[in-house]
């Protein structure tokens, strides 16, 4: 008897990594012009450049939780194979996804008393969630028991640092993260917020800088000040359709901190719908969040 790891599409891992780690992904949903779409479908590539183009064109994007009937099929299939389940979920401070899936797992646990189902709220998002899932899956592949892997995630999740910046404050305004006045003034003055995810899993603005390159350098500054040493690789970067700038950020980190394994991927549509094109996010294990 073994166990399998389930997470959700907000982990922002690449298809290659998902396959290598043997992960099961519960896709959150988003709607464009009233048409519902999945943020992840196994074997299908979402055209994220097109998604961000729609946002730039002013399309209204709405988001919702995973389809629980589909989630049940995924989790039940693992249990029916005789395996246990470790679910690592999107921050409860940003979404109801974890709460809904945790409740589903409790219901299934009553049906499968011989199986173990453990749910961990990562209090993380995007590549932060993904990096915790990555390390957990590596430990699982190395043969560590489900209880030890779950304990590791619980103990380490408040050391998973998330540092973000965005290029257009109006998307944060639409998502209720900043006021209309702050968004308008910031846009006029070319102010870029530098934010992080706090210990409750909420997205919190911490400082403001003027200009895009300064905001990217600020992410490196915060990493240099708090990253655990020796630095544990890989480091994750996710972006809202601004690959050149993501690579620029990676080059800054290599030059400043000597990191070699930096993995870059898109911010998924559900998170990107609230942060917008030009989102840049950096994730690493730190002394504290």
pLDDT tens for residues 101-150? 999 999 999 999 999 999 999 999 999 999 999 999 999 999 999 999 99
CA angle 271, 275, 280 (to 5 degrees): 95
Domain ranges of the chain: 3-27+65-157, 159-285
Per mean pLDDT, which of 53-62, 84-93, 188-197 is the most reliable?
Answer: 84-93
The band of 42, judged by pLDDT with boundaries at 50, 70 and 90, is confident
CATH 3.30.1180.10 fits 159-285, yes or no: yes
Report the alpha-carbon distance of residue 88 to residue 149 in Å, rounded: 11
CA-based nearest residue to 136, from 28, 45, 267, 13: 13
Identical fold at 3-27+65-157 and 159-285? no
Reduce the DSSP state of residue 288 to 3 states and report it.
coil
Model confidence pTM above 0.75: yes
Q: What's the mean pLDDT when you consider all of the chain?
A: 92
| Distances from the Cα of 160 to the Cα of 44, 73, 81, 224, 274, angstroms | 29, 31, 33, 14, 21
What pLDDT shows up at residue 10? 96
Question: Using an 8 Å Cβ cutoff, are 222 and 252 in contact?
Answer: no
Supply 126's token pair.
């995007």
CA-based nearest residue to 136, from 121, 151, 117: 151
What is the CATH code for 3-27+65-157? Answer: 3.40.50.10440
Report the alpha-carbon distance of residue 149 to residue 176 in Å, rounded: 35
Q: In what order do the strands lie in the sheet with 160-165?
A: 203-210, 191-197, 160-165, 280-285, 235-239, 262-266
- Higher-confidence position of 133 and 41: 133
Burial 85-120 (b: 16+ CB within 10 A, else e): bbbbbbbbbbbebbebbbebbeebbeebeebbbbbb
């Amino acid at each position: 008897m073994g166990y399998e790891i389930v997470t959700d599409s907000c982990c922002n891992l690449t298809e290659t990594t998902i396959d290598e780690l043997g992960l099961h992904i519960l896709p959150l949903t988003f709607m464009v012009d009233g048409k519902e779409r999945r943020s992840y479908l196994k074997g299908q590539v979402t055209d994220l450049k097109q998604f961000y183009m729609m946002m730039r064109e002013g399309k209204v994007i709405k988001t919702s939780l995973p389809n629980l009937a589909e989630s049940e099929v995924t989790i039940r299939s693992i249990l029916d194979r005789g395996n246990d389940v470790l679910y690592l979920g999107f921050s409860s401070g940003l979404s109801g996804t974890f709460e809904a899936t945790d409740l589903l797992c409790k219901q299934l646990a009553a049906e499968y008393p011989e199986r173990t189902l453990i749910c961990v709220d990562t209090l993380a998002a995007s590549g932060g969630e993904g990096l915790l899932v990555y390390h957990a899956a590596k430990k699982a592949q190395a043969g560590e028991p489900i209880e030890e892997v779950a304990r590791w995630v619980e103990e380490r999740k408040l050391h998973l640092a998330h540092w973000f910046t965005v290029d257009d404050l109006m998307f944060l305004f639409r998502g209720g993260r900043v006021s209309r006045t702050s968004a308008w003034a910031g846009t006029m003055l070319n102010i870029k917020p530098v934010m992080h995810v706090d210990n409750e899993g909420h997205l919190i603005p911490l400082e403001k800088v003027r200009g895009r390159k300064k905001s990217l350098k600020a992410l490196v500054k915060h990493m240099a000040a708090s990253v655990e040493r020796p630095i544990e690789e890989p480091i994750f970067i996710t972006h809202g359709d601004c690959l050149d700038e993501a690579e620029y950020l990676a080059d800054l980190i290599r030059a400043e901190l000597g990191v070699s394994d930096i993995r870059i991927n898109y911010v998924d549509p559900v998170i990107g719908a609230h942060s917008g094109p030009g989102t840049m996010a950096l994730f690493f294990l730190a002394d504290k969040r």
